[in-house]
Amino acid sequence: MSGASEKGDAFDVDVAVVGAGLAGLKCARDLATAGRSVRVFEARDRVGGRTHTRRIGRGTFDVGGQWLGPGQRRVHALVRQLGLATFPTRVEGTKILELDGRRSEYASDIPSLSPLGLAQMQLSLSLIERARASIPPEEPARARFAAALDGATLETFRRRLLLRREVRGAMDAALRVIFGAEAAELSALHFLAYLNAGGGFLSLAEARGGAQQDRFVDGAQTLCTRLAEHLDVRLSRPVRRVAQDERGVTLVADGAVVRARRAVLALPPPLAARIDFEPALSPRRAALLHRYFMGAIAKVLFLYRRPFWREAGYSGELVSSDGPLAVTYDNSSHDDAQPALVGFVGGRHARALAELDPEVARERCLSALVRGFGPAAAEVEHVEITDWSREPWSRGCPVALLGPGALTGLEGALRAPEGRLHWAGTETAVEWTGYLEGALESAERAAREILEREP
Amino acid sequence: MSGASEKGDAFDVDVAVVGAGLAGLKCARDLATAGRSVRVFEARDRVGGRTHTRRIGRGTFDVGGQWLGPGQRRVHALVRQLGLATFPTRVEGTKILELDGRRSEYASDIPSLSPLGLAQMQLSLSLIERARASIPPEEPARARFAAALDGATLETFRRRLLLRREVRGAMDAALRVIFGAEAAELSALHFLAYLNAGGGFLSLAEARGGAQQDRFVDGAQTLCTRLAEHLDVRLSRPVRRVAQDERGVTLVADGAVVRARRAVLALPPPLAARIDFEPALSPRRAALLHRYFMGAIAKVLFLYRRPFWREAGYSGELVSSDGPLAVTYDNSSHDDAQPALVGFVGGRHARALAELDPEVARERCLSALVRGFGPAAAEVEHVEITDWSREPWSRGCPVALLGPGALTGLEGALRAPEGRLHWAGTETAVEWTGYLEGALESAERAAREILEREP
């Protein structure tokens, strides 16, 4: 395998990669390390995909993905390899729970629900835990009750099992921040498979011991900017057409064409569905790519002069079913030079927020914070809303989702190569789907596929 | 309103239309009749969209939409206006029902179910009938139980209400031919709204007195080829970009650009979702367009020397849950010069069929016909399969569908104009969504919107 073919076909590179998010860049880096020539096309004018780090106020903040947690061994390995620094999310202090207009506080790990609510939440969590552990991670459609689970929405089970409104509300808040969706939009099977890929509901929902445990001192996008060093990355080059034949693949981007032996599609399924493929993708894969839809999340950063919540004994963590903020965390810069809270607006609240005038949207978010933390929250230096639904090269966040009937009806079309096309991106991961870790897993798998086929 | 602006902006035409299916052409014709200059861009090398008429064997056949029924007043008016001839679908004779491997025949309008099965089917139909009639046609999300209905799949109700396998099987067959989908894929609210738009389940399912009552002597595509006469239609011009500003709209197609005062998007939502809009569409509309997915249907035409089924007393109508054919009809040419049956493969059977070698696929369809009609069905002259999922400018048939959570979560984003963009296509119709009639309704509405705004 080299830059020019022995068969008279002129290849520009061995492998062309679509997408300079974490998956595309890690895959390109693995291939380059193995001696292959690689070119990466990126639609945006920056690398990083759903990670994006910006200097805001007196700190460095991630307006996209920002956390890493225990068990995410690939991210930790990459962090060590690149020599990046991380630090723990601040969780010390009292937490706030706001369900159906009822505000309460709790200092332990046990949420301040009524005794009946707590009992039901424990029961629900153990039911979910048992159900999710029964899903085969490689192929959820082969789960024992796959047809029944994929034939129903999560909402159907939510209504049937969660009889108390407060418990429903807590689940809604979690869904909005984890999926950017409402229970009505999700296949129950997809929900369970997603939880299972990340080690269970609490693993995804928690800071300490969970997916929100640690942050990057220099921001999560650093993973991507560092990987991109010494790689051939072409920015502002959205790929429009991918044509494969027996010998290779031709990619047509805005203002650029490349001929390669193989291609890696490392972008969210809904964006891959917008590319013209020749010949057409298999009907099953085309349908599956199209069936995915992006979650709806806006991330809201609140900058303060002082960490007023800590001074009042709060951790900064708030969970609310009442909107627009579903969850908040202390998000101060690692050196505390810029005290900050971060909030997530997801699902229907994100869609409602997107309809508002930006000034009104900021006002609504701030009111929700004042409702939770008191009037001191109003003394904000700056509010920065990042609505990922408005990013044309993401069209939503944090991850692409599936409604009912797709996982079982279109089984097997997610990650198998199709001719000379290989599929990466966190949605194609077996473990930690939707997270940085999943992006890395998918990248390593796609690189391996290519190296095995073109030794 | 004229070809050139008074404000110094140079318009090529008053209105640009995307899509030369029935909706786009009727809209263009209405606007042209009102004195507006119109240009239509079509991605395919033919007009007609989801109607397509071909000479096959000794007859003229529709490989796409082909029927019209009572109550479809716009189609009937257009047929009269264009002087087209129609003729009734042949329904005389014994019908065949094949549910879960059990074959039976019946001569009346009452299907050959067990007494318990019949009772349950009657009960289910009357429940469905009551439920669908409660859906407001203009905005299904305002139905009384909209949240509960849109929060669940049709499958959830199918499992809960249809306790007998034979009744479930009959429903599956109907869903596969009416929607090209399985119950697990559909929002219960979308299902009921769709039925209601067409006058109820039986209205959609039946030939005599229903949506399959009559056919076009020269094929349904004639509606489009005749409307396209004297219109400025540019074929093989897929529109890639639609940019609107305060004064007008610029459309960029492959090899063509046009500047117009307003534009009509007359194509299925999943195809509209592939266009780049500038500025971006509202998040709500963008999400809704993307949430739609096309049904999966292959239409199978079987040509015979003689109408052997009639000679054996059969009408040619078969309903089967056992696949691949969900429903068949007598489809002989109007003069009987070419005896023919037509079958529909839908939902999961369509997806399975698409994976097969074409020869094997034909064999499977023919076996299903032999299973129903006996060995004489094997003596076929020709089998023609048209898989609409493989048509890049349809990506499925008969219509775009919605899973749970979209109608209620994205309410109001379907047909309202967005700036200078107007939305047509059968999916945007209030009555007879998914049918020729719906396409015409949407076209007339979009034309009216424009004429009101630019008098």
Q: Which domains does chain B have, with CATH numbers?
A: 13-50+219-281+418-453 (3.50.50.60), 92-206+294-390 (3.90.660.10)
Quick one: which H or E segment has residue A276? strand A276-278
Structure tokens at B71: 């109550």
With a cut of 90, say whether residue A341 has pLDDT above it.
Answer: yes
For position A114, what pLDDT does the model report? 83
**CB within 8 Å: B282 and A155:** no
More confident residue, A249 or B8: A249
Q: Is B354 left (phi over 0), alpha (psi -120 to 50) or beta?
A: alpha
Q: Identify any residues that bridge with A262 across adjacent strands, giving them in sequence order.
A: A15
Residues 6+ apart with CB under 8 A from A230: A32
With a cut of 90, say whether residue A11 has pLDDT above it.
Answer: yes
Torsional sign, CA B183, B188, B190, B194: positive
For position B353, what pLDDT does the model report? 96
For position B92, what pLDDT does the model report? 94
User: How does pLDDT run across A116-153, given as a tens digit for each residue?
Assistant: 888 888 889 999 999 999 999 999 999 999 999 999 99
Q: What's the whole-model pTM score?
A: 0.95
Structure tokens at B180: 């090209």
First to last CA, chain B: 7
Mutate to test the interface with B, among A154, A158, A293, A388 (most CBs of B within 10 A): A293
d(CA A445, CA A140): 19
Q: Which residue in chain B is spatially nearest to A288 when comparing CA positions?
A: B293
Cross-chain CB nearest to A156 (options B156, B183, B283): B156
d(CA A434, CA A194): 8
d(CA B375, CA A356): 65
**CB within 8 Å: A405 and B147:** no
Coil, strand or helix at A443: helix
Residues in chain A with CB shorter than 8 Å from the CB of B273 are 274
User: What number of H helices and E strands is found in chain A?
Assistant: 16, 22
Q: Which residue in chain A is spatially nearest to B409 when comparing CA positions?
A: A348
User: How does pLDDT run across A86-114, given as a tens digit for each residue?
Assistant: 999 999 999 999 999 999 999 877 787 88
- Among A33, A22, A50, smallest CA distance to A228 is for A22
- Among A432, A254, A436, A268, smallest CA distance to B290 is for A268
**CB within 8 Å: A351 and B283:** yes
Residues in chain B with CB shorter than 8 Å from the CB of A286 are 389, 395
d(CA A168, CA A173): 9
User: How does pLDDT run across A204-232, given as a tens digit for each residue?
Assistant: 999 999 999 999 999 999 999 999 999 99
Cis check: omega of the bond before B398, within 30 degrees of 0:
yes
**CB within 8 Å: A405 and B151:** no
Distance of CA B178 to the CA centre of its chain: 8
% of chain A exceeding 70 in pLDDT: 98
**CB within 8 Å: B184 and A410:** no
Q: Chain A: nearest CA to B145, how far in angstroms?
A: 14
Within 10 Å of residue B355's Cβ, how many Cβ atoms? 11
Structure tokens at B414: 């379907």
Cross-chain CB nearest to A185 (options B240, B280, B404): B404
Whole-number CA gyration radius for chain B: 22
Mean pLDDT of chain A: 95
**CB within 8 Å: B156 and A159:** no
For position A6, what pLDDT does the model report? 43
Q: Chain A: nearest CA to B274, how far in angstroms?
A: 5
Q: Is B320 left (phi over 0), alpha (psi -120 to 50) or beta?
A: beta
d(CA A84, CA A224): 12
Structure tokens at A450: 């290519």
Coil, strand or helix at A320: strand
Residues in chain A with CB shorter than 8 Å from the CB of B396 are 287
For position B4, what pLDDT does the model report? 42
Residues in chain B with CB shorter than 8 Å from the CB of A150 are 184
Within 10 Å of residue B58's Cβ, how many Cβ atoms? 16
Q: Chain A: nearest CA to B387, how far in angstroms?
A: 10
Mutate to test the interface with A, among B156, B190, B239 (most CBs of A within 10 A): B156
C-alpha pair distances (Å), A48 with each of A44, A212, A223, B406: 9, 19, 8, 30
With a cut of 50, say whether residue A84 has pLDDT above it.
Answer: yes
Q: Which residue in chain A is spatially nearest to B158 when comparing CA positions?
A: A151
Q: How confident is the model at residue A378 (pLDDT cuts 50, 70, 90)?
A: very high
Residue corresponding to tokens 């001569």: B107
Mutate to test the interface with A, among B149, B153, B285 (most CBs of A within 10 A): B153
The pLDDT tens digits along chain B (455 residues) read 444 444 457 999 999 999 999 999 999 999 999 999 999 999 999 999 999 999 999 999 999 999 999 999 999 999 999 999 999 999 999 999 999 999 999 987 778 788 888 888 888 999 999 999 999 999 999 999 999 999 999 999 999 988 888 899 999 999 999 999 999 999 999 999 999 999 999 999 999 999 999 999 999 999 999 999 999 999 999 999 999 999 999 999 999 999 999 999 999 999 999 999 999 999 899 999 999 999 999 999 999 999 999 999 999 999 999 999 999 999 999 999 999 999 999 999 999 999 999 999 999 999 999 999 999 999 999 999 999 999 999 999 999 999 999 999 988 889 999 999 999 999 999 999 999 999 999 999 999 999 999 98
User: How does pLDDT run across B44-90, given as a tens digit for each residue?
Assistant: 999 999 999 999 999 999 999 999 999 999 999 999 999 999 999 99
Q: Chain A: nearest CA to B298, how far in angstroms?
A: 12
- Among A111, A381, A393, smallest CA distance to A254 is for A393
| ipTM score of complex | 0.93
**CB within 8 Å: B152 and A147:** no
Burial track A374-385 (b if 16+ CB lie within 10 A, e otherwise): eeebeebeebbb
Whole-number CA gyration radius for chain A: 22
Structure tokens at B138: 């203009």
Q: Chain A: nearest CA to B152, how far in angstroms?
A: 6
User: How does pLDDT run across B209-232, given as a tens digit for each residue?
Assistant: 999 999 999 999 999 999 999 999
For position A8, what pLDDT does the model report? 54
Sequence length of chain B is: 455
Q: Which residue in chain B is spatially nearest to A352 when comparing CA positions?
A: B284
Residue corresponding to tokens 């810029």: A338
d(CA B141, CA B144): 9
Sequence length of chain A is: 455
User: How does pLDDT run across A361-377, given as a tens digit for each residue?
Assistant: 999 999 999 999 999 99
**CB within 8 Å: A184 and B355:** no
**CB within 8 Å: A184 and B405:** yes
With a cut of 90, say whether residue A164 has pLDDT above it.
Answer: no
Structure tokens at B150: 């849109």
Q: Chain B: nearest CA to A354, how far in angstroms?
A: 7
Cross-chain CB nearest to B185 (options A181, A240, A409): A409
